[in-house]
Chains A and B, each alone.
Chain A
Protein backbone atom coordinates (compact mmCIF):
# COMPACT_ATOMS: atom_id res chain seq x y z
CA UNK A 1 0.00 0.00 0.00
CA UNK A 2 2.80 2.40 0.91
CA UNK A 3 4.55 1.54 -2.33
CA UNK A 4 1.36 2.09 -4.30
CA UNK A 5 0.89 5.49 -2.69
CA UNK A 6 4.51 6.42 -3.36
CA UNK A 7 4.21 5.41 -6.99
CA UNK A 8 0.94 7.33 -7.37
CA UNK A 9 2.36 10.51 -5.90
CA UNK A 10 5.56 10.00 -7.85
CA UNK A 11 3.58 10.15 -11.08
CA UNK A 12 2.09 13.53 -10.29
CA UNK A 13 5.01 15.77 -11.15
CA UNK A 14 5.73 14.00 -14.43
CA UNK A 15 2.01 14.15 -15.11
CA UNK A 16 1.93 17.88 -14.48
CA UNK A 17 4.57 18.36 -17.14
CA UNK A 18 2.53 16.32 -19.63
CA UNK A 19 -0.44 18.38 -18.50
CA UNK A 20 1.41 21.59 -19.35
CA UNK A 21 2.30 20.32 -22.82
CA UNK A 22 -1.26 19.07 -23.29
CA UNK A 23 -2.66 22.43 -22.21
CA UNK A 24 -0.44 24.27 -24.66
CA UNK A 25 -1.57 21.99 -27.49
CA UNK A 26 -5.21 22.56 -26.54
CA UNK A 27 -4.72 26.33 -26.57
CA UNK A 28 -3.35 26.17 -30.08
CA UNK A 29 -5.97 23.72 -31.23
CA UNK A 30 -8.80 25.86 -29.91
CA UNK A 31 -7.41 29.00 -31.45
CA UNK A 32 -6.47 27.77 -34.89
CA UNK A 33 -7.55 24.12 -35.26
CA UNK A 34 -3.92 23.25 -35.83
CA UNK A 35 -2.05 20.46 -34.07
CA UNK A 36 1.38 21.89 -33.46
CA UNK A 37 3.81 19.04 -33.92
CA UNK A 38 6.66 21.48 -33.27
CA UNK A 39 5.43 22.34 -29.78
CA UNK A 40 7.97 20.08 -28.05
CA UNK A 41 10.85 21.15 -30.28
CA UNK A 42 10.09 24.85 -29.79
CA UNK A 43 10.00 24.31 -26.03
CA UNK A 44 13.32 22.44 -26.18
CA UNK A 45 14.88 25.40 -27.97
CA UNK A 46 13.77 27.86 -25.29
CA UNK A 47 15.15 25.56 -22.60
CA UNK A 48 18.50 25.64 -24.40
CA UNK A 49 18.48 29.43 -24.32
CA UNK A 50 17.76 29.24 -20.60
CA UNK A 51 20.60 26.76 -20.21
CA UNK A 52 22.95 29.22 -21.93
CA UNK A 53 21.91 31.85 -19.41
CA UNK A 54 22.77 29.45 -16.58
CA UNK A 55 26.13 28.70 -18.19
CA UNK A 56 26.90 32.39 -18.22
CA UNK A 57 26.19 32.63 -14.52
CA UNK A 58 22.55 33.69 -14.62
CA UNK A 59 20.29 32.48 -11.83
CA UNK A 60 17.65 29.75 -12.15
CA UNK A 61 14.97 32.40 -12.15
CA UNK A 62 16.54 34.62 -14.78
CA UNK A 63 17.05 31.56 -16.96
CA UNK A 64 13.41 30.55 -16.48
CA UNK A 65 12.31 34.04 -17.43
CA UNK A 66 14.44 33.91 -20.57
CA UNK A 67 12.84 30.60 -21.52
CA UNK A 68 9.34 31.95 -21.04
CA UNK A 69 10.05 35.19 -22.89
CA UNK A 70 11.69 33.43 -25.81
CA UNK A 71 8.71 31.06 -25.88
CA UNK A 72 6.42 34.06 -26.20
CA UNK A 73 8.39 35.44 -29.12
CA UNK A 74 8.92 32.09 -30.83
CA UNK A 75 5.26 31.12 -30.54
CA UNK A 76 4.12 34.45 -31.95
CA UNK A 77 6.65 34.25 -34.77
CA UNK A 78 5.73 30.71 -35.78
CA UNK A 79 2.03 31.52 -35.90
CA UNK A 80 2.26 34.89 -37.58
CA UNK A 81 4.90 34.07 -40.17
CA UNK A 82 4.71 30.34 -40.83
CA UNK A 83 1.29 29.05 -39.84
CA UNK A 84 -0.89 32.04 -40.79
CA UNK A 85 -0.59 31.47 -44.53
CA UNK A 86 -1.93 27.92 -44.22
CA UNK A 87 -4.43 28.45 -41.41
CA UNK A 88 -7.45 28.54 -43.68
CA UNK A 89 -6.21 25.97 -46.13
CA UNK A 90 -6.63 22.19 -45.98
CA UNK A 91 -5.60 20.83 -42.53
CA UNK A 92 -2.82 18.80 -44.12
CA UNK A 93 -0.96 21.99 -45.07
CA UNK A 94 -0.75 23.08 -41.46
CA UNK A 95 0.42 19.60 -40.45
CA UNK A 96 3.19 19.80 -43.02
CA UNK A 97 4.22 23.27 -41.84
CA UNK A 98 4.39 22.34 -38.15
CA UNK A 99 6.29 19.14 -38.99
CA UNK A 100 8.66 21.33 -41.00
CA UNK A 101 9.13 23.66 -38.04
CA UNK A 102 9.77 20.62 -35.85
CA UNK A 103 12.55 19.38 -38.14
CA UNK A 104 14.12 22.81 -38.62
CA UNK A 105 14.10 23.71 -34.92
CA UNK A 106 15.65 20.40 -33.90
CA UNK A 107 18.22 20.81 -36.67
CA UNK A 108 19.09 24.33 -35.58
CA UNK A 109 19.39 23.20 -31.96
CA UNK A 110 21.84 20.53 -33.04
CA UNK A 111 23.86 23.12 -34.97
CA UNK A 112 23.92 25.74 -32.22
CA UNK A 113 24.09 23.62 -29.10
CA UNK A 114 25.50 20.25 -30.22
CA UNK A 115 24.08 16.82 -29.60
CA UNK A 116 25.46 16.07 -26.14
CA UNK A 117 22.73 15.98 -23.52
CA UNK A 118 22.98 18.52 -20.70
CA UNK A 119 21.52 17.95 -17.29
CA UNK A 120 19.58 21.09 -16.39
CA UNK A 121 20.06 22.02 -12.72
CA UNK A 122 17.06 21.66 -10.42
CA UNK A 123 17.47 24.54 -8.00
CA UNK A 124 15.22 22.60 -5.64
CA UNK A 125 16.16 19.46 -3.73
CA UNK A 126 15.37 16.17 -5.39
CA UNK A 127 15.15 14.23 -2.12
CA UNK A 128 11.69 12.81 -1.49
CA UNK A 129 9.68 13.70 1.56
CA UNK A 130 8.96 10.74 3.77
CA UNK A 131 5.84 10.04 5.82
CA UNK A 132 5.92 6.59 7.40
CA UNK A 133 6.68 4.18 4.60
CA UNK A 134 5.52 6.53 1.90
CA UNK A 135 8.34 8.30 0.11
CA UNK A 136 7.51 10.66 -2.70
CA UNK A 137 7.37 14.24 -3.93
CA UNK A 138 10.68 15.99 -3.51
CA UNK A 139 10.62 19.78 -3.15
CA UNK A 140 11.40 19.92 -6.86
CA UNK A 141 8.24 17.92 -7.62
CA UNK A 142 6.23 20.33 -5.49
CA UNK A 143 7.69 23.21 -7.51
CA UNK A 144 6.73 21.47 -10.75
CA UNK A 145 3.18 20.85 -9.60
CA UNK A 146 2.67 24.29 -8.13
CA UNK A 147 4.14 26.21 -11.04
CA UNK A 148 2.06 24.39 -13.64
CA UNK A 149 -1.07 24.77 -11.53
CA UNK A 150 -0.43 28.47 -11.06
CA UNK A 151 0.04 28.97 -14.79
CA UNK A 152 -3.10 26.99 -15.53
CA UNK A 153 -5.14 29.00 -13.04
CA UNK A 154 -3.77 32.30 -14.35
CA UNK A 155 -4.68 31.23 -17.84
CA UNK A 156 -8.17 30.29 -16.72
CA UNK A 157 -8.60 33.68 -15.07
CA UNK A 158 -7.30 35.42 -18.18
CA UNK A 159 -9.82 33.64 -20.39
CA UNK A 160 -12.77 33.94 -18.07
CA UNK A 161 -12.45 37.34 -16.52
CA UNK A 162 -10.57 39.67 -18.85
CA UNK A 163 -11.58 41.48 -22.01
CA UNK A 164 -8.66 40.09 -23.94
CA UNK A 165 -9.64 36.60 -22.76
CA UNK A 166 -13.16 37.12 -24.07
CA UNK A 167 -11.75 38.33 -27.38
CA UNK A 168 -9.52 35.27 -27.59
CA UNK A 169 -12.41 32.92 -26.91
CA UNK A 170 -14.60 34.65 -29.48
CA UNK A 171 -11.81 34.57 -32.05
CA UNK A 172 -11.31 30.86 -31.43
CA UNK A 173 -14.98 29.89 -31.54
CA UNK A 174 -16.24 32.08 -34.39
CA UNK A 175 -13.53 34.03 -36.14
CA UNK A 176 -15.79 35.69 -38.67
CA UNK A 177 -18.38 36.78 -36.13
CA UNK A 178 -15.64 38.07 -33.85
CA UNK A 179 -14.27 40.21 -36.66
CA UNK A 180 -17.71 41.69 -37.28
CA UNK A 181 -17.73 42.70 -33.63
CA UNK A 182 -14.44 44.52 -33.93
CA UNK A 183 -12.09 41.83 -32.63
CA UNK A 184 -8.64 41.79 -34.28
CA UNK A 185 -8.81 38.03 -34.73
CA UNK A 186 -5.34 37.61 -36.21
CA UNK A 187 -3.76 39.22 -33.16
CA UNK A 188 -5.75 36.99 -30.84
CA UNK A 189 -4.58 33.86 -32.65
CA UNK A 190 -0.98 35.05 -32.46
CA UNK A 191 -1.43 35.70 -28.76
CA UNK A 192 -2.88 32.21 -28.29
CA UNK A 193 0.16 30.62 -29.91
CA UNK A 194 2.50 32.85 -27.94
CA UNK A 195 0.91 31.90 -24.60
CA UNK A 196 0.96 28.25 -25.59
CA UNK A 197 4.66 28.44 -26.35
CA UNK A 198 5.25 30.06 -22.94
CA UNK A 199 3.61 27.08 -21.28
CA UNK A 200 5.66 24.77 -23.47
CA UNK A 201 8.83 26.58 -22.39
CA UNK A 202 7.88 26.13 -18.75
CA UNK A 203 7.34 22.42 -19.34
CA UNK A 204 10.75 22.10 -21.00
CA UNK A 205 12.56 23.86 -18.15
CA UNK A 206 10.72 21.69 -15.64
CA UNK A 207 11.39 18.39 -17.36
CA UNK A 208 15.02 18.97 -18.32
CA UNK A 209 16.52 18.06 -14.92
CA UNK A 210 15.03 14.58 -15.38
CA UNK A 211 15.23 14.25 -19.15
CA UNK A 212 18.65 15.69 -20.02
CA UNK A 213 18.41 18.49 -22.55
CA UNK A 214 19.24 17.51 -26.12
CA UNK A 215 17.74 18.45 -29.50
CA UNK A 216 15.37 15.48 -29.28
CA UNK A 217 14.80 15.48 -25.52
CA UNK A 218 11.28 16.87 -25.76
CA UNK A 219 10.09 14.36 -28.33
CA UNK A 220 8.84 11.80 -25.85
CA UNK A 221 7.44 14.48 -23.56
CA UNK A 222 5.55 15.87 -26.53
CA UNK A 223 4.10 12.46 -27.35
CA UNK A 224 2.92 11.99 -23.78
CA UNK A 225 1.54 15.52 -23.63
CA UNK A 226 -0.25 14.98 -26.91
CA UNK A 227 -1.69 11.72 -25.60
CA UNK A 228 -2.87 13.54 -22.47
CA UNK A 229 -4.52 16.20 -24.61
CA UNK A 230 -6.34 13.67 -26.75
CA UNK A 231 -7.45 11.73 -23.68
CA UNK A 232 -8.88 14.89 -22.16
CA UNK A 233 -10.27 16.18 -25.43
CA UNK A 234 -8.40 18.63 -27.62
CA UNK A 235 -11.11 21.20 -26.96
CA UNK A 236 -10.93 21.06 -23.18
CA UNK A 237 -8.22 22.82 -21.15
CA UNK A 238 -9.38 21.16 -17.93
CA UNK A 239 -9.45 17.84 -19.76
CA UNK A 240 -5.89 18.41 -20.95
CA UNK A 241 -4.66 18.88 -17.41
CA UNK A 242 -6.55 15.89 -16.06
CA UNK A 243 -5.50 13.81 -19.06
CA UNK A 244 -1.85 14.77 -18.63
CA UNK A 245 -1.80 14.10 -14.90
CA UNK A 246 -3.73 10.86 -15.29
CA UNK A 247 -1.32 9.66 -17.93
CA UNK A 248 1.66 10.63 -15.76
CA UNK A 249 0.37 8.57 -12.86
CA UNK A 250 -0.52 5.67 -15.11
CA UNK A 251 2.91 5.66 -16.74
CA UNK A 252 4.48 5.63 -13.30
CA UNK A 253 2.45 2.53 -12.43
CA UNK A 254 3.65 0.91 -15.64
CA UNK A 255 7.26 1.80 -14.87
CA UNK A 256 7.03 0.57 -11.29
CA UNK A 257 5.07 -2.62 -11.81
CA UNK A 258 5.81 -3.66 -15.40
CA UNK A 259 8.99 -1.97 -16.57
CA UNK A 260 9.75 1.46 -17.97
CA UNK A 261 10.30 0.24 -21.53
CA UNK A 262 6.56 -0.42 -21.67
CA UNK A 263 5.65 3.23 -21.01
CA UNK A 264 5.37 4.45 -24.58
CA UNK A 265 3.45 1.35 -25.59
CA UNK A 266 0.97 1.81 -22.73
CA UNK A 267 0.48 5.46 -23.61
CA UNK A 268 -0.41 4.35 -27.12
CA UNK A 269 -2.77 1.69 -25.78
CA UNK A 270 -4.58 4.24 -23.62
CA UNK A 271 -4.80 6.62 -26.57
CA UNK A 272 -6.36 4.00 -28.81
CA UNK A 273 -8.74 2.91 -26.07
CA UNK A 274 -9.98 6.46 -25.45
CA UNK A 275 -10.35 7.12 -29.15
CA UNK A 276 -12.48 3.98 -29.43
CA UNK A 277 -14.72 4.77 -26.46
CA UNK A 278 -15.04 8.55 -26.77
CA UNK A 279 -13.24 10.00 -29.76
CA UNK A 280 -13.76 13.62 -28.72
CA UNK A 281 -11.91 12.94 -25.45
CA UNK A 282 -13.15 12.14 -21.98
CA UNK A 283 -13.75 15.72 -20.87
CA UNK A 284 -14.81 17.42 -24.06
CA UNK A 285 -18.26 18.92 -23.69
CA UNK A 286 -18.69 20.66 -27.01
CA UNK A 287 -19.15 18.69 -30.16
CA UNK A 288 -16.11 19.02 -32.36
CA UNK A 289 -16.61 21.92 -34.71
CA UNK A 290 -15.15 22.93 -38.02
CA UNK A 291 -13.18 19.75 -38.51
Chain B
Protein backbone atom coordinates (compact mmCIF):
# COMPACT_ATOMS: atom_id res chain seq x y z
CA UNK B 1 0.00 0.00 0.00
CA UNK B 2 2.58 2.53 -1.06
CA UNK B 3 1.90 6.21 -1.35
CA UNK B 4 -0.47 7.13 -4.10
CA UNK B 5 -2.30 3.84 -3.77
CA UNK B 6 -5.36 6.04 -3.69
CA UNK B 7 -8.53 5.99 -1.72
CA UNK B 8 -11.28 3.44 -1.50
CA UNK B 9 -14.96 4.08 -1.84
CA UNK B 10 -17.16 3.86 1.23
CA UNK B 11 -20.82 2.95 1.04
CA UNK B 12 -23.11 2.94 4.07
CA UNK B 13 -26.62 1.47 3.83
CA UNK B 14 -29.41 1.59 6.40
CA UNK B 15 -27.04 1.61 9.34
CA UNK B 16 -28.76 1.21 12.71
CA UNK B 17 -26.81 1.56 15.94
CA UNK B 18 -28.10 1.71 19.47
CA UNK B 19 -26.76 1.83 22.98
CA UNK B 20 -29.23 -0.25 24.93
CA UNK B 21 -32.56 1.54 24.57
CA UNK B 22 -31.02 4.67 23.01
CA UNK B 23 -31.00 4.62 19.23
CA UNK B 24 -28.09 6.67 17.94
CA UNK B 25 -28.37 5.83 14.23
CA UNK B 26 -31.75 5.21 12.73
CA UNK B 27 -31.01 3.80 9.29
CA UNK B 28 -28.25 6.01 7.91
CA UNK B 29 -27.22 5.69 4.26
CA UNK B 30 -24.51 7.63 2.52
CA UNK B 31 -21.88 7.07 -0.06
CA UNK B 32 -18.40 8.54 -0.30
CA UNK B 33 -16.73 8.14 -3.68
CA UNK B 34 -13.02 7.25 -3.62
CA UNK B 35 -10.80 10.31 -3.34
CA UNK B 36 -13.47 12.72 -2.16
CA UNK B 37 -14.39 14.48 1.08
CA UNK B 38 -17.85 14.12 2.55
CA UNK B 39 -18.71 16.36 5.47
CA UNK B 40 -21.12 15.02 8.09
CA UNK B 41 -22.78 17.84 9.98
CA UNK B 42 -25.31 18.07 12.76
CA UNK B 43 -25.92 19.32 16.28
CA UNK B 44 -24.78 17.70 19.51
CA UNK B 45 -26.18 14.24 19.88
CA UNK B 46 -27.12 13.95 16.20
CA UNK B 47 -25.20 10.67 15.96
CA UNK B 48 -22.07 11.85 14.11
CA UNK B 49 -19.60 10.14 16.40
CA UNK B 50 -21.79 7.06 16.58
CA UNK B 51 -21.64 6.88 12.80
CA UNK B 52 -17.85 6.93 12.75
CA UNK B 53 -17.63 4.52 15.67
CA UNK B 54 -19.95 2.12 13.87
CA UNK B 55 -17.84 2.32 10.73
CA UNK B 56 -14.52 1.69 12.47
CA UNK B 57 -15.89 -1.13 14.58
CA UNK B 58 -15.76 0.52 18.00
CA UNK B 59 -19.47 -0.16 18.30
CA UNK B 60 -21.27 -2.96 16.57
CA UNK B 61 -24.11 -1.73 14.41
CA UNK B 62 -27.41 -3.42 15.00
CA UNK B 63 -28.09 -3.79 11.30
CA UNK B 64 -27.17 -2.33 7.96
CA UNK B 65 -24.22 -2.55 5.71
CA UNK B 66 -20.81 -0.90 5.42
CA UNK B 67 -19.02 -1.50 2.14
CA UNK B 68 -15.37 -0.57 1.92
CA UNK B 69 -14.37 -0.77 -1.74
CA UNK B 70 -17.42 -2.96 -2.22
CA UNK B 71 -16.46 -5.33 0.59
CA UNK B 72 -18.76 -5.81 3.59
CA UNK B 73 -17.01 -4.77 6.81
CA UNK B 74 -19.94 -4.03 9.16
CA UNK B 75 -19.31 -5.54 12.57
CA UNK B 76 -15.59 -6.12 12.01
CA UNK B 77 -13.29 -5.42 14.95
CA UNK B 78 -11.47 -2.05 14.96
CA UNK B 79 -8.04 -3.71 14.78
CA UNK B 80 -9.16 -5.39 11.56
CA UNK B 81 -10.80 -2.33 10.04
CA UNK B 82 -7.63 -0.26 10.31
CA UNK B 83 -5.71 -3.04 8.58
CA UNK B 84 -8.24 -2.99 5.75
CA UNK B 85 -7.25 0.62 5.11
CA UNK B 86 -9.72 2.71 7.13
CA UNK B 87 -8.32 4.85 9.96
CA UNK B 88 -10.39 6.67 12.55
CA UNK B 89 -9.22 9.80 14.35
CA UNK B 90 -11.60 9.91 17.29
CA UNK B 91 -13.31 12.89 18.89
CA UNK B 92 -11.00 14.39 21.47
CA UNK B 93 -8.24 12.88 19.35
CA UNK B 94 -7.29 9.81 21.37
CA UNK B 95 -3.66 10.74 21.70
CA UNK B 96 -2.04 8.51 24.34
CA UNK B 97 -0.90 11.07 26.89
CA UNK B 98 1.63 8.86 28.69
CA UNK B 99 3.54 8.01 25.51
CA UNK B 100 6.00 10.23 23.70
CA UNK B 101 5.15 11.91 20.44
CA UNK B 102 7.39 9.43 18.65
CA UNK B 103 5.79 6.40 20.32
CA UNK B 104 2.32 7.67 19.48
CA UNK B 105 3.26 8.16 15.85
CA UNK B 106 5.08 4.83 15.52
CA UNK B 107 2.12 3.06 17.04
CA UNK B 108 0.03 4.08 14.06
CA UNK B 109 2.10 2.01 11.67
CA UNK B 110 3.10 -0.87 13.90
CA UNK B 111 0.70 -3.36 12.35
CA UNK B 112 2.22 -2.92 8.92
CA UNK B 113 4.65 -5.58 7.73
CA UNK B 114 6.78 -3.36 5.52
CA UNK B 115 9.25 -1.94 8.05
CA UNK B 116 11.07 0.27 5.57
CA UNK B 117 7.85 1.91 4.47
CA UNK B 118 6.83 2.23 8.10
CA UNK B 119 9.77 4.49 8.83
CA UNK B 120 9.27 6.31 5.54
CA UNK B 121 5.66 7.04 6.54
CA UNK B 122 6.87 8.16 9.96
CA UNK B 123 9.30 10.66 8.48
CA UNK B 124 6.64 11.91 6.08
CA UNK B 125 4.39 12.61 9.06
CA UNK B 126 7.19 14.55 10.75
CA UNK B 127 7.78 16.49 7.54
CA UNK B 128 4.07 17.27 7.37
CA UNK B 129 3.98 18.52 10.97
CA UNK B 130 7.23 20.30 11.91
CA UNK B 131 6.04 21.07 15.47
CA UNK B 132 5.93 17.34 16.10
CA UNK B 133 9.39 16.89 14.64
CA UNK B 134 10.74 19.33 17.23
CA UNK B 135 9.04 17.42 20.06
CA UNK B 136 9.70 13.78 19.24
CA UNK B 137 10.72 12.75 22.75
CA UNK B 138 8.16 14.85 24.62
CA UNK B 139 5.22 13.16 26.31
CA UNK B 140 2.01 13.72 24.39
CA UNK B 141 0.40 15.13 27.53
CA UNK B 142 2.64 18.18 27.22
CA UNK B 143 1.35 19.11 23.75
CA UNK B 144 -1.04 21.93 22.96
CA UNK B 145 -4.45 21.19 21.52
CA UNK B 146 -3.33 21.95 17.98
CA UNK B 147 -0.25 19.78 18.34
CA UNK B 148 -2.38 16.94 19.65
CA UNK B 149 -4.61 17.21 16.63
CA UNK B 150 -1.53 17.08 14.41
CA UNK B 151 -0.31 14.04 16.33
CA UNK B 152 -3.63 12.24 16.00
CA UNK B 153 -3.81 13.02 12.31
CA UNK B 154 -0.17 12.13 11.73
CA UNK B 155 -0.62 8.89 13.62
CA UNK B 156 -3.53 7.93 11.41
CA UNK B 157 -1.56 8.81 8.28
CA UNK B 158 1.37 6.62 9.33
CA UNK B 159 -0.95 3.67 8.68
CA UNK B 160 -1.20 4.89 5.07
CA UNK B 161 -4.98 4.79 5.20
CA UNK B 162 -7.12 4.82 2.11
CA UNK B 163 -10.16 6.06 3.97
CA UNK B 164 -9.86 8.55 6.82
CA UNK B 165 -12.61 9.09 9.39
CA UNK B 166 -12.14 12.43 11.17
CA UNK B 167 -14.26 13.27 14.21
CA UNK B 168 -14.40 17.01 14.87
CA UNK B 169 -10.78 17.86 14.11
CA UNK B 170 -11.51 21.55 14.74
CA UNK B 171 -12.71 20.96 18.30
CA UNK B 172 -11.06 23.47 20.59
CA UNK B 173 -8.71 24.84 17.95
CA UNK B 174 -8.12 28.44 16.96
CA UNK B 175 -9.66 29.35 13.59
CA UNK B 176 -6.24 29.68 11.98
CA UNK B 177 -5.20 26.16 13.04
CA UNK B 178 -8.58 24.80 11.97
CA UNK B 179 -8.08 26.33 8.55
CA UNK B 180 -4.63 24.75 8.32
CA UNK B 181 -5.95 21.32 9.23
CA UNK B 182 -8.83 21.59 6.75
CA UNK B 183 -6.44 22.74 4.06
CA UNK B 184 -4.18 19.80 4.77
CA UNK B 185 -7.05 17.33 4.54
CA UNK B 186 -8.05 18.81 1.19
CA UNK B 187 -4.46 18.59 -0.05
CA UNK B 188 -4.09 14.93 1.02
CA UNK B 189 -7.26 14.19 -0.82
CA UNK B 190 -6.15 15.95 -3.99
CA UNK B 191 -2.59 14.66 -3.97
CA UNK B 192 -2.98 11.08 -2.80
CA UNK B 193 -6.60 10.35 -3.62
CA UNK B 194 -7.46 9.76 0.03
CA UNK B 195 -11.16 9.30 0.82
CA UNK B 196 -12.36 11.34 3.81
CA UNK B 197 -15.45 11.31 5.99
CA UNK B 198 -15.23 14.53 7.94
CA UNK B 199 -17.49 14.99 10.96
CA UNK B 200 -17.78 18.59 12.08
CA UNK B 201 -19.89 20.92 14.16
CA UNK B 202 -18.00 23.74 12.55
CA UNK B 203 -20.18 23.44 9.45
CA UNK B 204 -18.82 26.45 7.64
CA UNK B 205 -15.19 25.32 7.58
CA UNK B 206 -16.10 21.71 6.82
CA UNK B 207 -18.30 22.69 3.90
CA UNK B 208 -15.55 24.91 2.55
CA UNK B 209 -13.33 21.88 1.83
CA UNK B 210 -15.89 19.13 1.26
CA UNK B 211 -17.10 17.71 -2.06
CA UNK B 212 -20.37 16.66 -0.54
CA UNK B 213 -22.30 17.35 2.66
CA UNK B 214 -24.64 15.26 4.75
CA UNK B 215 -26.70 16.60 7.65
CA UNK B 216 -27.65 14.27 10.48
CA UNK B 217 -30.38 14.87 13.00
CA UNK B 218 -31.45 12.43 15.71
CA UNK B 219 -29.75 9.57 13.93
CA UNK B 220 -31.24 10.19 10.49
CA UNK B 221 -29.96 11.88 7.35
CA UNK B 222 -32.07 15.00 6.85
CA UNK B 223 -30.13 16.46 3.94
CA UNK B 224 -27.49 15.29 1.50
CA UNK B 225 -26.30 17.72 -1.12
CA UNK B 226 -23.65 19.85 -2.69
CA UNK B 227 -21.81 21.89 0.01
CA UNK B 228 -22.68 25.18 -1.63
CA UNK B 229 -26.38 24.28 -1.75
CA UNK B 230 -26.38 23.20 1.90
CA UNK B 231 -24.70 26.43 2.94
CA UNK B 232 -27.23 28.44 0.94
CA UNK B 233 -30.25 26.74 2.48
CA UNK B 234 -31.37 29.12 5.23
CA UNK B 235 -33.83 26.70 6.84
CA UNK B 236 -31.22 23.99 7.08
CA UNK B 237 -28.63 26.40 8.37
CA UNK B 238 -30.84 27.72 11.11
CA UNK B 239 -32.28 24.35 12.09
CA UNK B 240 -29.15 22.20 12.13
CA UNK B 241 -25.97 23.96 11.19
CA UNK B 242 -25.93 26.94 13.51
CA UNK B 243 -24.45 29.59 11.26
Q: Which A residues fall within an 8 A CB radius of B? A: 163, 166-167, 169-170, 173-174, 176-185, 286
Sorted nearest first, the 10 A-B pairs with minimum C-beta distance are: A182-B111, A177-B94, A179-B78, A182-B82, A180-B78, A174-B96, A179-B79, A173-B98, A182-B79, A173-B96
Instruction: A170 to B98: give the CA distance in the assembly, Å.
Output: 9
14 contacts between A and B (CB under 8 A): A163-B110, A166-B103, A167-B107, A167-B110, A173-B97, A173-B99, A174-B94, A178-B96, A179-B58, A182-B79, A182-B83, A183-B79, A183-B107, A184-B79
Interface SS of A by simple majority: helix
Let me know if B212 is at the binding interface, CB within 8 A.
Answer: no
Which residues of chain A come closer than 8 Å to B98, judged between CB atoms?
169, 173, 286
From 66 to 110 in chain B, residues with beta carbon under 8 angstroms from any chain A beta carbon are 77-79, 82-83, 87-88, 90, 94, 96-99, 103, 106-108, 110
Distance (whole angstroms) from the CB of B138 to the closest CB of chain A: 15
Let me know if B209 is at the binding interface, CB within 8 A.
Answer: no
Q: Which B residues fall within an 8 A CB radius of A? A: 56, 58, 77-79, 82-83, 87-88, 90, 94, 96-99, 103, 106-108, 110-111, 155, 159
Which residues of chain B come closer than 8 Å to A184, judged between CB atoms?
79
Instruction: Find A181's partner among B58, B77, B97, B110 (CB 8 Å cutoff).
Output: B110
Distance (whole angstroms) from the CB of A183 to the closest CB of chain B: 6
Instruction: Find B82's partner among A174, A180, A185 (CB 8 Å cutoff).
Output: A180
Which residues of chain B come closer than 8 Å to A181, judged between CB atoms?
82, 107-108, 110-111, 155, 159
Instruction: Find B90's partner among A163, A167, A180, A183 (CB 8 Å cutoff).
Output: A180
Which residues of chain B come closer than 8 Å to A166, judged between CB atoms?
99, 103, 106-107, 110
Which residues of chain B come closer than 8 Å to A173, judged between CB atoms?
96-99
The answer on a CB contact under 8 Å between B99 and A169 is yes
**Which residue on chain A has the smallest CB distance to residue B81?**
A180
Instruction: A181 to B118: give the CA distance in the assembly, Å.
Output: 14
Distance (whole angstroms) from the CB of B104 to the closest CB of chain A: 9
Instruction: A169 to B94: give the CA distance in the assembly, Å.
Output: 15
Instruction: A177 to B87: give the CA distance in the assembly, Å.
Output: 11
Which residues of chain A come closer than 8 Å to B56, judged between CB atoms?
180
Distance (whole angstroms) from the CB of B170 to the closest CB of chain A: 20
Given contacts A185-B79, A286-B98, 13 further A-B contacts (CB under 8 A): A163-B110, A169-B98, A169-B103, A170-B107, A174-B96, A176-B94, A178-B107, A180-B88, A180-B90, A181-B110, A182-B79, A182-B110, A184-B79
**Which residue on chain B has the smallest CB distance to residue A286?**
B98
Instruction: A115 to B98: give the CA distance in the assembly, Å.
Output: 46
**Which residue on chain A has the smallest CB distance to residue B83?**
A182
The answer on a CB contact under 8 Å between A183 and B111 is yes
Which residues of chain B come closer than 8 Å to A167, judged between CB atoms?
107, 110
Distance (whole angstroms) from the CB of A243 to the closest CB of chain B: 20
